[in-house]
Amino acid sequence: MRSGSPRDYSRRAQLSQSPDPAMVPADVAEAQILDLITPFDGARDRETVTLAEARDRILADTVLSPLDFPHWDNSAMDGYAVRFADVQGATATATVALTVIEEIPAGKRPQQAVAAGQAARILTGSMMPEGADTIVIQEITQRRDDQVQILEAPQPQAFVRHRASFHRAGEPLLFAGTVLQAPEIAVLAAAQCPLVPVYRRPRVAILSTGDELVTPDRPLQPGQIVDSNQYALVTLVQQAGAEAIPMGIVPDQPEALREAIAAALDQADLVLSSGGVSVGDYDYVDRILTELGATLHIRAVAIKPGKPLTVATFTQPSPTLYFGLPGNPVSALVSFWRFVEPALRKLSGQTRWSPLFVKARSHQDLRAGGQRETYLWGQVQVTEAGFEFSLAGGRHSSGNLINLAGTNALGVVPVGVTQIAAGDPVRVLLLPSGFTS
């Protein structure tokens, strides 16, 4: 289905034949992951959408303007189109009288050229008539019948917007990789580009692993846990502009996992599984990936939560990146925000990939173990003084999913730091789902 894809992981695969099982620092993991990704190809991985469908899509090609902006010389004000030579000596005591030969409303082509001693009544946005080179604003004129008195000399070429002075036809209007939002869509509409070349959406298969998992509609048996990751990951994938392919729950059985992962590889550009990547007796994912021919690049990252993280690549049946996320719901989300999101942005053709970190003032003391980069969930508010970070209430346990609700940012306590005092600056990762002020 995706045969002939230009993306090629084989070169990098050769470089990483012997994966280092040690924990890698988060920024090293990020760089390594981004380096594994070949972005979509503007010629092959593209589709055409209408302007109405273009919101949040990514331009796959540079768009050249078919038109000059402005399209013709026009007036920036209501007034009179005149010849500067006629009015350059005008003063309140020595006014210049001109004959008004026509009125040019917006959207109408002037019918007559302005000759010496003549003027045309003109409105904002109207085309300049032949012969005229200057606009006299109506505030410095007096009109009687077909005569207009000019009471003050304007600057030469005053209030004329010249053709192509904003943008020239044939020059690039928007570049490949631009995310299309209201301003860009307005520009494309104005340039009469009703059909827009965009990158296709990356296809992301999502599977949850674990014998204990059930869907939310099932009565819970003792020991069972609801598969919340599937829903969180589908949402995050869709928010990132990708197409989510939910593949359900896979039991902790090697054969079932092998089948499910193989099916995911057949359909997706990127596969996300959660669970089964730690060192427990039932954590089969890494073994199955290897058996299926993957190259494992990362197996653990020095962050908390989210230490077990498998990053692998497949070249068969087509180039695919595989993320084995930790099963723990908080760890899975933190790993997505920190590592999968930038990877998706790069794959999908955007020009900015890296997560958005800002400095914020912490409202509370933030504590960490100091061994691993620690991500604490909470909320950023934008105030006049800048960014403010408040820690989510409740237990900061990676097993506590409940106090994640409302999270729009993660406070980062670096390795080697065990406390950031209330009032001090903290580096925070802004989550793409947006934040309120």
Q: Which residues here bind ligand AMP, judged by CB under 6 A?
A: 208, 210, 212-213, 225, 227-230, 274-276, 278, 280, 326-329
Site of interaction with Mg ion (CB under 5 A): 210, 275-276, 327
How far is Cα 431 from Cα 433, in angstroms, rounded to an integer? 5
**CA 74 from chain center: how many Å?**
36
Per the rule left: phi > 0, alpha: psi between -120 and 50, beta: everything else, 310 is beta
Q: How far apart are CA 98 and CA 111, in angstroms?
A: 18
- Joined tokens for residue 61: 């090609």
Considering CB distances under 5 to 8 angstroms, the limit depending on partner class, which of ligand AMP, Mg ion, none binds residue 82? none
| Shortest CB 276 distance to ligand AMP, Å | 5
Q: Can you tell me the distance from the alpha carbon of 266 to that of 300, in angstroms, rounded to the nearest whole number?
A: 26
Q: Of the two residues 140 and 207, which places its CB atom closer to ligand AMP in the complex? A: 207
By beta carbon distance, the residue nearest ligand AMP is 327
Contact 297/348 with Cβ under 8 angstroms? no
Find the shortest distance in angstroms from Cβ 210 to Mg ion: 4
User: In the complex with ligand AMP, which residue's Cβ is closer, 286 or 373?
Assistant: 286
> What length is written for the chain?
437
CB-based contact 49:180 (threshold 8 Å): no
Nearer to Mg ion, 276 or 308 (CB): 276
By the 8 A CB rule, do 138 and 79 touch?
yes
Lay out the sheet containing 308-314: strands in order across: 243-250, 203-209, 270-274, 320-325, 308-314, 295-300
Name which of ligand AMP, Mg ion, none residue 141 binds, using a CB cut-off of 5 to 8 Å depending on partner kind.
none
The Cα–Cα gap between 377 and 360 comes to 13
Q: How far is the CB of 398 from ligand AMP (least distance, A)?
A: 9
CA distance 323 to 32: 13
Binding partner selected for residue 213 from ligand AMP, Mg ion, none, CB under the kind-specific 5 to 8 Å limit: ligand AMP
Toward ligand AMP, which CB reaches closer, 110 or 329?
329
Pick between residue 39 and residue 326 the one whose CB is nearest to ligand AMP.
326
Minimum CB distance to ligand AMP, residue 205 (Å) = 14
Cβ proximity to Mg ion: between 129 and 326 the closer is 326
Q: Please report how close the Cβ of residue 226 comes to ligand AMP at its closest, in angstroms.
A: 6
Say which entry of Mg ion, ligand AMP, none residue 177 contacts (CB below 5 to 8 A, set by partner kind). Answer: none
CB of 169 vs ligand AMP, minimal distance in Å = 54
Q: Which is nearer to ligand AMP, 155 or 290 (CB)?
A: 290
Q: How far is the CB of 304 from ligand AMP (least distance, A)?
A: 14
Given ligand AMP, Mg ion, none, residue 388, with its beta carbon under 5 to 8 Å by kind, binds none
Contacts of 183 (CB under 8 A, 6+ apart): none
Helix (H) or strand (E) holding 365: none
Burial of residue 359 (CB within 10 Å: 0-12, 13-18, 19+) is exposed
Q: Which is nearer to Mg ion, 154 or 210 (CB)?
A: 210
CA distances from 156 to 101, 132, 198, 424 (A): 21, 11, 45, 57
Residue 328 touches which of ligand AMP, Mg ion, none (Cβ within 5-8 Å per kind): ligand AMP
Q: How far is the CB of 243 from ligand AMP (least distance, A)?
A: 20
Contacted entry of Mg ion, ligand AMP, none for residue 274, CB cut-off 5 to 8 Å set by kind = ligand AMP
SS3 15: helix
